[in-house]
Amino acid sequence: MGVVLAATHIALGELVAVKVLKAADSDEDARGRFLREGKVLAKLRSPHVVDVKDVGELDDGTPYMVMEFLEGSSLAHELLKGPLPVPQATDIVIEACHAMAEAHRHGIVHRDLKPDNIYLSVHALGSGTEVKIIDFGISKLTHDTQNGGVSKQTQGNMVLGSPHYMSPEQIRQSLTVDGRADIWALGVVLYEMVTGRRPFDADGVLDLCELVLYGPVPEFPPSLDDLAPIILRCLERDPDMRFARIEDLAEALVPFATERGQSVAAQLRRAARHSALLSDASIALDHSSGAIQVSTPATNVLKAPISGVADTLVAYTPMPLDARRPAQSRRGFVLASLLVSAVLAVAMFLVLRSPRSSGQESGTLQQPSSMIVELVPSTLSTSLLPLTPSVEPSVATLRTPRVEVRPPSTGAPRASIAPSSAPPPTPSSFLGLPDGRK
């Protein structure tokens, strides 16, 4: 649908690839698909999807797309040399699953996965190749139920996809497929990589479609007996019999992959777990009370154990610090008020009860602030005789309480109220008379 040119970014001096729509294909439908492809690629964040840097139109209205420049070759070019070893083939499919899992999470179905659209990019440091999925030109947005992501003209007269890699439901109706159509296509690609031939092949398009819909199950050499069940599950004509998610296909291929493929599968597994957490639980912060409210469905959110903080992803809006301070200040004020009230209550208790509590044992009062106050009531012992000129009143002993705070050896601090050691008043001072008067 377009031509790709190598170019240099003038401002950055970076080598880029520029895809331009051919003039012969620049009708309204083609232009719409071209621009939509750029928007689709801009949403995806995967190292195995080609990176789009810019989308726009030239002065004459021709749309263009600026992408990262890839060095390497397509998988179709590599397959001209013959079948690939099983570990290499499974690594390629696992990396393609990583890219398509990201697309499926955004509701995007590629609908045209084939060796020509699987690019084996060479690393700059020469450490092997990396899969890049390209050409999302006929991709479908699963939430676009109105027109399947294409124009009304395309709906009536086109079958979208490459017949060798199209699933049975895509042959029947391209507009209603979901991510399981991409699983079928990857199963066809994997079969072709390990056997060197396609599972369904015919000279004409109609004969080929008939084989896909009703043909016999493809055969496998004995050396592929272990891998065959995985491929055959991808090629189930009933979509419900295939892998439910493309992540499940990648997980099934882990025993056949190299260490690199296993690492990519582990990344995909973590990403799927994060996505499940975000879709199954919503965390909101209540700005008025400072409490985090978690809303979860009836099912268990943690469907698999989470190993470490790196495996946990939680999204929420934190409360500003100044929004939390008033609540903290109020709590401190309440605690201080309670403490002062307790001290005042103890003092009033001593003042009111001391004349009537002679000889009572000490009590212990536990305060809210964990301070233990030991009460030793003061004693007031009096022996008053009738006042006569010849009889002097008996000495009245009045001992005022004195508060001493001393830290105990263990536990909370204790406040002890002990009798005062001050000398008792003289009888004259007690009666309010000058010294020496009788």
Cα 190 off chain centre by: 32
Contacts of the segment 122-127: beta carbons below 8 A, 24+ positions apart: 122/71, 122/72
Question: Which residue in 91, 112, 135, 182 is the catalytic one?
Answer: 112
- Is residue 406 within a helix (H) or strand (E), and if so which, with residue range? strand 401-406
Q: Is residue 173 within 8 Å of 159, Cβ to Cβ? A: no
Q: Is residue 7 within 8 Å of 18, Cβ to Cβ? A: yes
Q: How many CB atoms lie within 10 A of CB 155?
A: 14
Q: Is residue 74 within 8 Å of 118, Cβ to Cβ? A: yes
Query: Where do runs of H (alpha helix) occur along 235-312?
Result: 246-252, 259-280
Q: Which two tokens stand for residue 430?
A: 């007690």
Q: Which two tokens stand for residue 368?
A: 């809210």
231 Cβ neighbours under 8 A, 6+ residues apart:
187, 190, 191, 220
Q: Which of 191, 200, 180, 263 is nearest to 230 (CA)?
A: 191
- Is residue 16 within a helix (H) or strand (E), and if so which, with residue range? strand 15-21
Q: Is residue 264 within 8 Å of 95, Cβ to Cβ? A: yes
Q: Sheet containing 118-122: which strands, arranged edge to edge?
A: 72-74, 118-122, 129-133
CA distance 208 to 231: 19
Q: Is residue 169 within 8 Å of 239, Cβ to Cβ? A: yes
* 112 catalytically annotated: yes
Which residues have a catalytic role annotated?
112
